[in-house]
Amino acid sequence: MASHVASLRGWHTALARAEIASLLPSAVVNRLPARRLVLLDGDVSPEHMLEAVNCSSGCQALLTHAVLWSNEQPIDSLLEQMSDYIQTHTRTGSVAVRSWKHEGKMEGVSARELMRKIGGMLSEQGYQIDLEQPDHRLGMVLDAKAGIIACGWMIGTGDESDGISARRATDRPFFKPVSLDPRLARLAVNLASGPLQKGVTLDLMTGTGGFVLEAAVSGREAYGIDLDAEMIEGAQRNLDWAEQANRASLLLGDATRLLDVLPADAIHRISGFVLDPPYGRNSQGTLEPTALIRAVLESSHSVAGENAHFVLIVPIHPFGEHAEEALSEDAAVELLHGQWDELQACFEQTGWRLLGRWVEHVHASLGRLILHAAIVPRD
């Protein structure tokens, strides 16, 4: 059976690949020569795919059981395969064809002409074409750099813009320079929390509510904790503004003492921990940055549910542009505060296994390291 194809947005494709793998854990994610296309194999239901695309930050659309064409083949072979596809994968209701490009314009191929021909095949099969509000869209993505076209019934919009970037942190009633970009916040929540029904998301140091807001908007039950009453009050205003107060609860308290802060019914139900710690000395003023992270990892382990994951974002010295890949195990990064070896040891010694590391460019003098870890159960 043909694989599904995920079409990724251009921002940080390495993180977007990890995000879709986390949202669809039963899928096997395989790379294609195209940077922004991946194959999804395995037993994934259409309902889970829809949910994953709707809440993802980095996935434009999924093309189900997609036909793949490469420019080593004549273009007619794509049309022949699409003719079979349309007969085999039928839909009920009106349809439209939609196409979008990755990496510029594909030489010698007219997307318009292909759409016209595929639209003709659909009409011949008796489908009503409705360009405004079709029940189903047949998507076609052309990747000029890899010379690949993927085609299939779409799940998701295929839009380059995710709607998240339109909801800027500066638009919220309570904004501070520390507020996370919603796009990164959503991606981190998805990476840590996985599928929506998996469990509760905990934003350990919520500040203006960057993660807790994205967790709630994406449909998750969530908690946010902060030591600072001003932050809790402001984050609550942001939640009210986003009409998410029913999904998320904010708690004044110390993330290094979670058993004292969380309500009893949340303990051992937390599946996704997200942490964006203070840049310099923390507001307690007692722990150095690495010691604070260690204490939070330790405390998180004690309240975590089964198979919980942890995502940590820390500032680093600039690392160039976004890496296209996760960092290799031996790649050196220079943290703004503390040493990488010490931070790595914190994860290992508190019962968390590192799964991946990515870097993001912020500006000339700042980068971010994004760490993803999974819980190691204790005996």
Binding region for ligand SAM (CB under 6 A): 178-180, 205, 207-208, 210, 225-228, 231, 254-256, 276-278, 282-284
Q: Which DSSP helix (H) or strand (E) runs through 213?
A: helix 210-217
**Which whole-number Å values give the CA distances from 310 to 233, 252, 373, in the listed order?**
25, 21, 5
- What's the min distance (Å) between Cβ of 205 and ligand SAM? 3
Q: Which residue has the tokens 């405390």?
A: 299
CA 251-199-218 angle, 5° bins = 80
- Shortest CB 187 distance to ligand SAM, Å: 13
CB of 233: closest distance to ligand SAM in angstroms?
Answer: 12
CB nearer to ligand SAM: pick between 13 and 208: 208
Least CB distance from residue 254 to ligand SAM, whole Å?
5
Helix (H, G, I), strand (E, B) or coil at 70: strand
* Strand, coil or helix: 117: helix
CA distance 269 to 199: 6
> Which residue lies nearer to ligand SAM by CB, 63 or 275?
275
Type of residue at 338: G
**Of 46 and 280, which CB lies nearer to ligand SAM in the complex structure?**
280
**Distances 227 to 204, 279, 283, 285, 374 between C-alpha atoms, Å:** 10, 15, 8, 12, 26
C-alpha to C-alpha distance for 348 and 251, rounded to whole angstroms: 28
Residue nearest to ligand SAM (CB): 210
The minimum distance between CB 190 and ligand SAM, in angstroms, equals: 15
CB closer to ligand SAM out of 149 and 180: 180
Is the Cβ–Cβ distance between 222 and 248 less than 8 Å?
yes
Find how far residue 354's CA is from the centre of its chain.
18
The least distance separating ligand SAM from the CB of residue 164, rounded to whole angstroms, comes to 14
201 or 282, CB closer to ligand SAM? 282
Residue with Cβ nearer ligand SAM (155 or 180)? 180
Note the helical H segments in 310-359: 340-349
Indicate the residue among 161 and 283 with the shorter CB distance to ligand SAM: 283
CB of 209 to ligand SAM, least distance (A): 6
DSSP class of 308: E
SS3 content of the chain, % helix, strand, coil (to 5): 30, 30, 40
For residue 342, give the amino acid letter. Answer: E
Q: Provide the minimum distance between the beta carbon of 349 and ligand SAM in the complex, in angstroms, as a whole number.
A: 19
Alpha helix positions (H), 60-146: 75-88, 111-124
Nearer to ligand SAM, 5 or 205 (CB): 205
Nearer to ligand SAM, 6 or 303 (CB): 303
In angstroms, what is the minimal distance from the CB of 24 to ligand SAM? 26
> CB of residue 220 vs ligand SAM: minimum separation in angstroms?
16
**Cα separation of 268 and 265, whole Å?**
8
Number of H helices, E strands in the chain: 10, 14
| Residue 362 Cα distances to 220, 228, 290, angstroms | 28, 26, 21
Q: 90 or 283: whose CB is closer to ligand SAM?
A: 283
Q: What is the DSSP letter of 264?
A: G
> Position 368: which residue type?
R
